[in-house]
Structure 1
Amino acid sequence: MHNAASPLPELDNVAPRIALPDPSAEPVHYTRYRDLSLGSHFQPIFSIAHGRAVGYEGLVRAQYDDGRPESPAALLAMPRNGRECLELDRTCRTLHMHNFARQASGHAWLFLNLNSQYLVSERPDIGFTRNLLHATGIPAHRLVIEIIESEVRDQAQLKQFIRHFRELGCLIAIDDFGAGHSNFDRIWDLEPDIVKIDRRLIQDASSSGRVERILNGIVSLLHEAGCLVVVEGVESEHEALLAIAANADMLQGFHFAKPQPCIVDPPGVAQTFARLRRGRQWQSVKRRADQQHYSRGIEGLFQQALADFTARQQFAQSSALLFSDSRTVRCYLLDEAGHQVSPSVYPLHSQQRLNLQFAPLLCGDHANWSHKHYHYRALKQPGVVQVSRPYLSIADSRMCITLSQTVHVGGLLRVFCCDLDWQDQ
């Protein structure tokens, strides 16, 4: 802790126009709160595409005069009522903005957490941020206000404050999305510029293929809503690769940089992201190769079944040639328009595992699968075996991959399909 650093002005005395500090002076300031000294730490937020920091989140650090640290959670629990919570929230924002203004940060954003719960409940003067922007000289377009939307019940009041920050020129970010009671209704309603995915999602995705698919879907939906996406809490290369595979825009976490009082990007970060992007490309190729390898052992049987069906036109009997492979789940035949023109044929080992809870979906009669990739890809490349990506089958609500190929029988074009059970590796 730099004891020589000067304190910040009192909150109530922040005037609309205060001269910027001397750039040659000590770049880090501290302020007092009760018997604690509060300081700022800044954690970089990196753009995957640019391979560099495009923003920094301001985080408070507290310690006693004897050097003992106090946790941020304990600090934030000290206020006794909503008004004191708002005062501490403003103290932290003032501290971070003054410290950020004194450092070389280029055009990067400053992300500031705002306790929206107390901002709404206390209904304070909304001119505070405007005055603070004038006092520090930070342009409003470089300030990203982070709110946790699930904290607030008064949606109308929250939207009013968000409108105020937008009118100032600030950006709005939703923090910790995917945790607690987060829901997409508020994303549609609040229309944030940026959404930060809660760290729990990337942690769970690193050990669960199901959660990984959920993460991919969440990122896709947020993009459709017009939001940029930051994945927080990235602590390993594997998690970074998962976030990149999910098509996130930015990453934040200890794997890249820990919060520091001075803004200094880690060395070699551009090379790190170049390596990660190459790793993602290799990972994609490897995953596709794994799928091809998984199906390769059965492709010979699949070709035998196609030849037998062409010769005998007995779909059930031809499908039985595939049942010696325990991965086979079902076979079915589609016409050129995607209609299922045969009953689904199941091997005995698959019949024994059918879940009758999904009985309304098990019968494929009159179903149309023209919207499925395994149908239109087979039509696009006739006579070539197509291997689909893993997907959730509506027939029994489990993951599978599908082999499909066109075949001509009796002057008609058909698509022969075989579903294989897919277990997340």
Structure 2
Amino acid sequence: MHHAALPLPELDQAARIALQYPLAEPMPYSHYRGLSLSSHFQPIFSIAHGRAVGYEGLVRARHADGRTESPATLLAMPKDGRECLELDRTCRTLHMHNFARQASGHAWLFLNLNSQYLVSERPDIGFTRTLLRATGLPAHRLVIEIIESEVRDQVQLKQFIRHFRELGCLIAIDDFGAGHSNFDRIWDLEPDIVKIDRRLIQDASHSARVERILNGLVSLLHEAGCLVVVEGVESEHEALLAIAANADMVQGFHFAKPQPCLIDPTGVAETFARLRRGQQWQSGKRSADLQHYSRGIEGLFQQARADFAAHQQFAQSSALLFSDPRTVRCYLLDEAGYQVSPSVYPLHYQQRLNLRFAPLLCGDHANWSHKHYHFRALKQPGVIQVSRPYLSIADSRMCITLSQTVHVGGLLRVFCCDLDWQDR
């Protein structure tokens, strides 16, 4: 195949030069310091739609003898901000021409801009507008990716983002969750899409704690009005974690590697359908595991509750539960959610209490009405409620809570028992 070389544009002429390359030419490439630069595109898949909805443009560099050069080495070649911006514009021009030459439907093109040099060099902001006109690519199909932690001049960055928005482009924050990412930047910049750094999904595949962090992060980004892409998905397990976290899109080698041509792999819809079924099965299994975990102690719980109703000796009644080593504390709440008994701990757990959390260990007069185990027990009197695992403020450990109403002395109380639930 013949390739048309795109000459390296001068900064003050880049917009004009970009107009000189008609879309009739197939798959152009550029030269840069003895290297031949070409475009590769990695699909970004919608989990719900089961198909590619966007492609990230990635640069590939090759020597004249055919040897490849790493993108990191290429991006380290510029000596100053001006040269960095020059390379950045060369890559953008290359990717947009190559993307526009291919059938892409309504898919987005994700382009990573070096926002640090966009700010420091304060270049002509008409470059992207002219490039859009030259390629015929509608602005609403261009997603501008920035790494927010790179930029110190927040005011100038916001001006550039405003410019791209006025063009009609979408804004994405890349590598969120890595380095010095801050949520205040999310509130301030209001991106349309946030791409979560690949390190987070990798760590989540080995740690239930990080998995919970990932779930919470996706939920918080959704509350901020952002769509979420999980990057770096390289295994089925990681794909299931991304789906369980309620991410909107995924990107990674597990689904497709970057290629010069735009691809939407055959059978990918079936792959996502299978993954969604797998995640539903895992969710059902987790719920069944939780029920199985608590079922073995429900008999003891009923005995302790009945003993308390009969004798009104809370500590004595709670001790019936301590024969099960999973029990970590018992406590009694009133209808308003106030704790009306001291927390009672088994001896084996007292020895493990972390005194660093001593201010929180005493639950006297604390109010737990905002907790699901309290209001669910009141909503269904006489029925044992089993909470989902959560972090207990009492000792900063994961637990689940069994709760049930009980009548004593004409008063309605909620009998509660916490079970240890470490990362299982």
State the 1:280 CA deviation: 1.1
**Aligned: 1:161 with 2:146:** no
Paired amino acid for 1:7: A
Counterparts in 2 of 1:261-272, with a 5 A limit?
Answer: 261-272=260-271
Counterparts in 2 of 1:36-47, with a 5 A limit?
Answer: 36-47=35-46
Counterparts in 2 of 1:10-89, with a 5 A limit?
Answer: 10-11=8-9, 12=13, 14-15=15-16, 20-22=22-24, 26=26, 28-89=27-88
**Aligned: 1:5 with 2:3:** yes
Paired amino acid for 2:279: R
State the 1:8 CA deviation: 2.2
Would you say the 8 A contact 2:7–2:31 is kept in 1? no
Would you say the 8 A contact 1:18–1:136 is kept in 2? no
State the 1:65 CA deviation: 1.2
Q: How far apart in 1 are the matches of 2:212 and 2:236?
A: 18
State the 1:134 CA deviation: 0.5
Counterparts in 2 of 1:199-218, with a 5 A limit?
Answer: 199-218=198-217
Paired amino acid for 1:379: L
Structure 2 runs not aligned, ≥5 long:
none
Would you say the 8 A contact 1:18–1:134 is kept in 2? no
Change (3 A) 1:104 1:153: same
1:187-221 per-residue CA deviation (whole Å, 9 max, x = no partner) reads: 11111111000000000011111111111111111
Q: How far apart in 2 are the matches of 1:341 and 1:63?
A: 73
**Aligned: 1:319 with 2:318:** yes
State the 1:264 CA deviation: 1.4
Would you say the 8 A contact 2:8–2:32 is kept in 1? no
Q: Which residue of 2 aligns with 1:125?
A: 124
User: Percent of pairs identical after alignment?
Assistant: 86
Paired amino acid for 2:411: L
Q: Which residue of 2 aligns with 1:249?
A: 248
State the 1:300 CA deviation: 1.0
**Aligned: 1:375 with 2:374:** yes
1:238-267 per-residue CA deviation (whole Å, 9 max, x = no partner) reads: 111111111111100000000000011111
Would you say the 8 A contact 2:14–2:127 is kept in 1? no
Report the secondary structure of 2:337's partner residue. Answer: coil
Q: Tell me the matched-pair count.
A: 420
Q: Which residue of 2 aligns with 1:195?
A: 194
CA RMSD of aligned residues (A): 1.2
Q: How far apart in 2 are the matches of 1:276 and 1:129?
A: 38
Counterparts in 2 of 1:217-256, with a 5 A limit?
Answer: 217-256=216-255
1:53-83 per-residue CA deviation (whole Å, 9 max, x = no partner) reads: 1100000001011110000000001111111
Would you say the 8 A contact 1:44–1:257 is kept in 2? yes
Report the secondary structure of 2:58's partner residue. Answer: strand
Q: How far apart in 2 are the matches of 1:110 and 1:91?
A: 16
Counterparts in 2 of 1:327-406, with a 5 A limit?
Answer: 327-406=326-405
1:36-66 per-residue CA deviation (whole Å, 9 max, x = no partner) reads: 1100000000111111111000000010111
Q: How far apart in 1 are the matches of 2:56 and 2:203?
A: 23
Change (3 A) 1:17 1:33: closer
Would you say the 8 A contact 1:20–1:137 is kept in 2? no
Paired amino acid for 1:21: L
Would you say the 8 A contact 2:386–2:401 is kept in 1? yes
TM-score by length of 2: 0.97
Q: Which residue of 1 aligns with 2:288?
A: 289
1:389-410 per-residue CA deviation (whole Å, 9 max, x = no partner) reads: 0000000111000011111112
State the 1:14 CA deviation: 4.2
Q: How far apart in 2 are the matches of 1:140 and 1:119?
A: 19
Counterparts in 2 of 1:406-417, with a 5 A limit?
Answer: 406-417=405-416
TM-score by length of 1: 0.97
State the 1:335 CA deviation: 0.9
Q: How far apart in 1 are the matches of 2:70 and 2:14?
A: 28
Report the secondary structure of 1:323's partner residue. Answer: helix
Q: How far apart in 1 are the matches of 2:300 and 2:249?
A: 45
Structure 1 runs not aligned, ≥5 long:
none
Q: How far apart in 1 are the matches of 2:63 and 2:22?
A: 28
Would you say the 8 A contact 1:400–1:421 is kept in 2? yes
1:353-391 per-residue CA deviation (whole Å, 9 max, x = no partner) reads: 111111111111111101001111111111111111000
Q: Which residue of 2 aligns with 1:99?
A: 98
Paired amino acid for 1:122: E
Would you say the 8 A contact 1:392–1:398 is kept in 2? yes
Paired amino acid for 1:35: G
Report the secondary structure of 2:323's partner residue. Answer: coil
Q: How far apart in 2 are the matches of 1:377 and 1:244?
A: 28
Q: How far apart in 1 are the matches of 2:324 and 2:292?
A: 15
Change (3 A) 1:9 1:75: closer
